[in-house]
Amino acid sequence: MGERVFLGVDLGGTNTKFALVREGGEVLESNAIPTKAMRKPEEVAHDIAQEVERLLQIAREQERDIPALGIGIPGRIDWEEGICYLLPNFPNKWHQVPIRRWLEEETGLPVGVINDVRAITLAEKRFGAGRDVESMAMVAIGTGVGGGIVLNGELVIGQHGSAGELGHITVEAGGTECGCGNRGCLEAYATGPAMVAAAIRAVVQQNDTVIRDIVEGDLNRVTTKVVSQAVEAGDRVAIEIIQRIGEYIGQAVANVYVTIDPELIVIGGGVSRAGEPLLESIRKGIKKRLYMVPWENVRLVRAELDMDAGTIGTATWAKERFDKGLIG
Ligand SMILES: [Zn+2]
């Protein structure tokens, strides 16, 4: 029998990513296919199984052995049974979709199912920013705000798989409505779309900002990258937007400190590429709220694994579930 490798799948609203991952976290082969999420879940799952089959073929040709695959789901799941309950960013929401059973039947492999950001957290713990710590919390800021918690070197799942849903910490009592049904969740304030909306508002309100110049007056061209560019150019309006978001994240992170007192906070997701100004504003936000932990011991860093974190994490989840005899 050849080297063991695990297959990681990261289901996204736009693209689904795949990778063959070595036990040490190294990606051997990767690919992405369009999810076309407007279709029936059965059709999406079938496409995933087909791409899995293609990668299995490649692994077989290289005389590698694939014991299991892992899939990351952007939403609420029953992680043990592998059933999707709610994928908020998918047009048909995937209520009661038995993704684990479908993929096991079609690929013949044992399947481990995990929330997508919990998978990223696991990858950062094993191979990235958190590899030297026993406890950490991850905040991933993108289209939504995801999170994950590691204690005693292991991912914390919780009774319902909801441990680490840091995007749904309330940061503004009675505030803006959140997709989860609550009001004032972090996710209602600190996402990429929230950043873009604030930037568009500033331009429309005739504020003095270089954002208008960067997009040549075309509001459709405002992205998080544009806001980051404006921050780099020292634009006061863009800096204020980043500071407000950082303050909300900092407030949530302060709550995490008094709950689990971790060694490390890892900030990931597309919006984290706004870089040091965002991190600095998060640090300020934490400092404003945190009195129970010595401030000099707060360690806040950016995620290290970037684009491959999702597939490395799901492959690692599959490996760990498989080795413990929990799948297969
Ligand atoms: Zn919420």
Biggest CA pair distance of the chain: 66
Compute the distance between CA of residue 114 and CA of residue 157 in angstroms, rounded to an integer: 9
Domain 132-304 has CATH 3.30.420.40: yes
Compute the distance between CA of residue 193 and CA of residue 187 in angstroms, rounded to an integer: 10
Distance from residue 170's CA to the centre of ligand 1 (Å): 8
Distance from residue 221's CA to the centre of ligand 1 (Å): 28
Report whether pLDDT(1) > 70: no
Taking the alpha carbons at both ends of the chain, their separation in whole angstroms is: 18
* 206 confidence band (pLDDT: 50, 70, 90): confident
DSSP letter, residue 182: -
Report whether pLDDT(66) > 90: yes
Question: Mean pLDDT, to the nearest integer, of 244-255?
Answer: 95
Distance from residue 99's CA to the centre of ligand 1 (Å): 24
Angle at 287 between CA 284 and CA 290, to 5 degrees: 145
DSSP symbols for 97-120: B-HHHHHHHHH-S-EEEEEHHHHH
- In one-letter notation, the amino acid at residue 249 is I
DSSP letter, residue 165: -
The alpha carbon of residue 311 and the mean position of all alpha carbons in its chain are separated, in whole angstroms, by 11
Backbone angles phi, psi at 12, to 5 degrees: -125, 165
Question: Mean pLDDT, to the nearest integer, of 243-262?
Answer: 96
Distance from residue 183's CA to the centre of ligand 1 (Å): 7
Distance from residue 182's CA to the centre of ligand 1 (Å): 5
Query: What is the reported pTM?
Result: 0.93
Backbone angles phi, psi at 84, to 5 degrees: -85, 135
Domain boundaries, the chain: 5-121+307-323, 132-304
Distance from residue 300's CA to the centre of ligand 1 (Å): 23
Distance from residue 167's CA to the centre of ligand 1 (Å): 6
pLDDT computed for residue 179 by the predictor = 83
Q: How many CB atoms sit inside 10 A of residue 1's CB?
A: 6
**Do the two domains 5-121+307-323 and 132-304 of this chain adopt the same fold?**
yes
Distance from residue 181's CA to the centre of ligand 1 (Å): 6
Question: Mean pLDDT, to the nearest integer, of 223-237?
Answer: 92
> Tens digit of pLDDT for each residue in 70-118?
999 999 999 899 999 999 889 999 999 999 999 999 999 999 999 999 9
> Tens digit of pLDDT for each residue in 139-181?
999 888 999 999 999 999 998 888 999 999 999 999 999 988 8
Q: Are 34 and 44 in contact (CB under 8 A)?
A: no
Q: Which fold has domain 5-121+307-323?
A: Nucleotidyltransferase; domain 5 (3.30.420)
DSSP symbols for 227-293: HHHHHHTT-HHHHHHHHHHHHHHHHHHHHHHHHH--SEEEEESGGGGG-HHHHHHHHHHHHHH--SS
- Helices 236-260 and 276-289 cross at an angle (nearest 10°) of 50
Q: Sign (positive/negative) of CA torsion 246, 252, 254, 257?
A: negative
Question: Mean pLDDT, to the nearest integer, of 257-282?
Answer: 90
Distance from residue 169's CA to the centre of ligand 1 (Å): 7
Q: Bridge-partner residues for 111, per DSSP?
A: 69
Compute the distance between CA of residue 22 and CA of residue 226 in angstroms, rounded to an integer: 36
Q: Bridge-partner residues for 177, per DSSP?
A: 183
